[in-house]
Amino acid sequence: MNIKIKSTQDDEPKKIVWNSPKFELVDVVTGKSVSHKAKVKLQWSEKFLYILFDVNDDHIWGTFRNNDDPLYEQEAVEIFMSYGEETPKEYFELQFSPNLVKYDAWVKIPTGSRHDKSFSVNVGWNFEKLEFEQEIDASGDEVKKGVWQTYVKIPAAEIKGSDFKKGDILRGNLFRIDGHPKQNSFQALSPNFEKTPNFHTPEKFATFELI
């Protein structure tokens, strides 16, 4: 999957005129559309990559309260990303629950398989200047049925090591985990069609071109 990301001059995600397409996440195993949809938008400036998750949910929930708690065990949106066109052997993993809780880690996957003993996830690694905001519209529903949005602002220096420029290529994938009281929906921008949901498949990551 090849995706072109448009540029913006704004520095605040909530003030951006999102002139890029909205992409729908699909079932990671089948590639089919799901009933409770999640959509994403991406834009960039020289200094930042901006990502917006727009999630429909029939029961917004999460019990974790501390950064780097295992958010992947409940509901979350996730970003896996690296700089460069080649299939990555290392990348950051970034997750958000609908409680303003963040999980960030550095993944090493030298062989491309999470089942290899060389696969490692360093949860002690952290972004230095990441910014994010959330909005939840549950319309007073007692079970918090509604929409939640997550705005993410990632410094170019923490992805590329310098400012972005037109023509730069990123490799990555965007995910959403849904389901209450147990997870029952695993969604991706670029599905990998593995029978058991496994997000760590860098050879299936999308290619993002900054235009």
Return mean pLDDT, the chain: 93
**Rounded-to-integer distance, Cα 127 and Cα 208, Å:** 21
Does this model's pTM top 0.85? My answer is yes
Total count of residues recorded for the chain: 211
- Under the banding of pLDDT at 50, 70 and 90, the label for residue 16 is low
Q: Residue 178 carries which side chain, given as an amino acid letter?
A: D
CB contact at 8 A, 160 and 55: no
CB contact at 8 A, 90 and 82: yes
83-140 tens-digit pLDDT: 999 999 999 999 999 999 999 999 999 999 999 999 999 999 999 999 999 999 887 6
Question: 206 has which bridge partners?
Answer: 172
**Rounded-to-integer distance, Cα 153 and Cα 170, Å:** 15
**Rounded-to-integer distance, Cα 69 and Cα 103, Å:** 7
What CATH topology corresponds to 2-210? Immunoglobulin-like (2.60.40)
Phi and psi angles of residue 157, each rounded to the nearest 5 degrees, phi first: -65, -25
| Three-state DSSP class for residue 170 | strand
CB contact at 8 A, 187 and 27: yes
181-192 tens-digit pLDDT: 999 999 999 999
